[in-house]
Chain A
Amino acid sequence: MPTDRPTAAAEETLGLQDLPPHTDARIVAVEAHNGRETADLAERLAEIGFLPGERVRLLARGPFGEPLAVRVGSDTFALRRGEAACVRVVAIGPAGDGRP
């Protein structure tokens, strides 16, 4: 039973776009890459529900791999790969259910 360690170094954070489908994950951070545009983007993602601590799950990829249908909280949003890349997540296994 993996427990959350204080340092994130040992945990694998992925960009949301690399998450395997139908795997639950938890958001670690929502950050801008570079420039003002992605800063705006990150903020907008936060406003629609992509906040640290929220559960996410990749539901589907469009034809040609993009866009991504992502379940966050109780909503589903379609994101581009570039947008999803702003969201860093940690995969949680079935045992990770409901951990605060």
Chain B
Amino acid sequence: MNALVADPLVALVGNPNCGKTALFNLLTGSRQKIANYAGVTVERKEGRLRTRSGRRVRVLDLPGAYSLRPRTPDEQITCDFVLGRLPDEPRPDVVVAVVDATNLRRHLRLVLALKRLGQPVVVALNMVDLARRRGLPIDGAALSRELALPVVETVGVRAGGAQALLDYLEREHAAAEPVAAPGDHPVADAIPLDEPAAATADMASVAADQHEVERILGRLGLAGVRADTPSDRIDRVVLHPVAGPLILAGTLFLMFQAVFAWAQPFMRAITALIAALAGLVATVLPAGPLASLLVDGVLAGAGSVLVFLPQIVLLFAFILLLEDSGYLPRAAFLLDRLMGSVGLSGRSFIPLLSSFACAVPGILAARTIPNARDRTVTILIAPLMTCSARLPVYTLLIGTFVPARTVGPGIGLQGLVLLALYAAGVGGAFAVAWILKRLRRGSALHPLQMELPTYHVPSLRNLGIGLLQRVEVFVRRVGTIILALMVLLWFLSSFPVPPAGYPGAAIEYSLAGRLGALLAYLFAPIGFNWQISIALVPGIAAREVVVGALGTVYSLAATGQDVAGQVAPLIARAWSLPTAFALLAWYVFAPQCLSTLVTARRETNSWRYPALMAGYQLALAYGAAGLTYHASRWLLGPA
């Protein structure tokens, strides 16, 4: 066991919206890792950087906090971490207090609180470019004198904008001894979440801090700073009671149309690529188990999921853009009353919107909701927000069974159906929230206190990094768990091999075929055939697996003419419209994501809520599918 000197650990701390995450991205590039704090359910974003001399430094991005008196679970983490109260986490060697140079008035209060902790603190004066552009007299050296802390200037969104910080870390990292100011009681400065606090005493200390900040600002000539007016002007329109909701609806509609329409050429390209690969395998390898594994298992299976990468990229791009620009809190503002009618608050909007991309980060984002009940309800309904993993299924079924007609100028029937499915998910979620609201009494005031940050032109660099991360996650998911499940499904669907002269398709004789036939009894009332039934089994792990599974199952049953990787013509022949619609309805609600359930378990610290989640979603799915199936059959007449 060699004695390793641990790389120095730098923690980024700051108010929400100080540009901390952009700075973190700048420092670590894509060398980031997302993990969990051991024993605690909060995401840990850690990255590494190399200084000019080649020294490695670990950087931790902590959740934004307004003060060291935590109100939400993620603020609690920041507070605990900085105080060294997390059992398995080391204390940081350096705390980088990131402040927004255009808004020192508020951000400096946290710096004062951090200073009292007695650990090494360096202030990163971020967004100096914006401040200078607005004509604010920013003088890092003067601020450093007033605060008695080192100050470096940073620009989180420009390459090289963190050089001053890097140089500082390089110079000072060796001097990692904590400097305790005499008479300090660091622990007393932070109050745990459930300890009663004497309101007047704390208000007084906040006011005292504010006086100190104003004194400092006065000395720096920043006392009379007016707020940003371009943002105000935009808000006059965006928050207008009539124009606002219209803009919101338009933005969301644009997002959905784009995701469905703009991705098409790329998806076709990927499909062609997979078909070409399948052809290649067929020519190179003789027909046999290996060729079948590659063509029917890997390419038809995992490949048909990979096709949806362009759509997922587009969806995430929109969400990241909206987030980076600062528009999302405005949307939450407009929807707050509406969400209040079902017992939620506007604060749930952002976690729920994130769930449109993937419910796992959405559930994690619920940590920013202070009210425990709101948080639980948000977590319970998050999976009903149509996540990106449903897109492959929706696209496949809509593309195959809904005619590509135009219903109005620029509005296609297929896009409308997709929108309707999204609306059904949201409607279902709100209905569930409303029921939960009726079941619980209690008219406690749900705090809102949501910041509306200044608008920013979204940084393409951050967008690129964020997208790359999501693409990596998606490709890794396809390449690992989905691929593994597809190989297994292929195996179960190919063996045992039927004897020569078997009348039906070979797959019906296989293990999967027999299992599917059994499951089909359960699903026959809602119109699912045995292929769908068997495909749903691996689909429990991840939703998009069903597309791959259908690909494998039908590919194995296909005759020679069909091109591998194209499920659509196969199911178009085999399914009736009511079956397809029933599967769509099932998909709106069905709990088919193990990751979501496990994340919910972690976030709520019990199995009760994920069990409840899985249970009610399964019931809704079965009911909706059954209703849709029988209603469609009745409306469309016998197929």
Contacts and interface: CB of A to CB of B under 8 A. Distances in A.
Asked if A and B touch directly (CB within 8 angstroms), the answer is: yes
Interface of A: 30, 32, 36-49, 51-52, 59-67, 69, 71, 73-80, 82-83, 98
A98 to B, nearest CB: 6
Interface string B405-441: 0000000000000000000000000000000000000
Contact of A74 (B102, B207, B446, B447): B102
Interface in B330-383: 332-334, 336-337, 340, 346
Contacts of B452: 69, 76-78
Contacts of B264: none
B241 A63 contact: yes
A79 B337 CA distance: 12
A51 to B, nearest CB: 5
Contacts of A45: 449
Contact of B447 (A49, A61, A80): A80
Given A43-B199, A46-B207, A47-B67, A77 B225 contact: no
A59 B235 contact: yes
Given A43-B197, A59-B239, A69-B452, A75 B207 contact: no
B329 A51 contact: no
Nearest to A49: B106
A47 B239 contact: no
Interface string B500-527: 0000000000000000000000000000
A55 B71 CA distance: 25
Contacts of A49: 105-106
Interface residues of B, number: 50
A64 to B, nearest CB: 5
Given A63-B334, A80-B447, A48 B106 contact: yes
Nearest to A97: B224
Interface in B434-463: 444-454
26 contacts: A40-B197, A41-B447, A43-B197, A43-B202, A43-B203, A44-B71, A48-B451, A59-B232, A59-B235, A60-B235, A60-B236, A61-B241, A62-B333, A62-B336, A63-B334, A66-B336, A67-B448, A69-B239, A74-B226, A77-B450, A78-B346, A79-B448, A80-B445, A80-B448, A83-B445, A83-B447
Given A60-B239, A75-B106, A37 B445 contact: yes
Contact of A75 (B103, B199, B332, B336): B103
Contacts of B447: 41, 44, 80, 83
A85 B332 CA distance: 21
Contacts of A65: 337
Interface string B274-288: 000000000000000
Nearest to B198: A39
Contacts of A32: 199
B203 A48 contact: no
A14 B120 CA distance: 44
Nearest to B242: A63
Contacts of A38: 445
B245 interface: yes
A62 B445 contact: no
Contacts of B228: 74
A74 B336 contact: no
A77 B239 CA distance: 13
Interface in B212-250: 224-228, 231-232, 235-236, 239-241, 244-245
A78 B105 contact: no
B227 A63 contact: no
B545 to A, nearest CB: 40
Nearest to B106: A49
A52 B66 CA distance: 18
Nearest to B244: A63
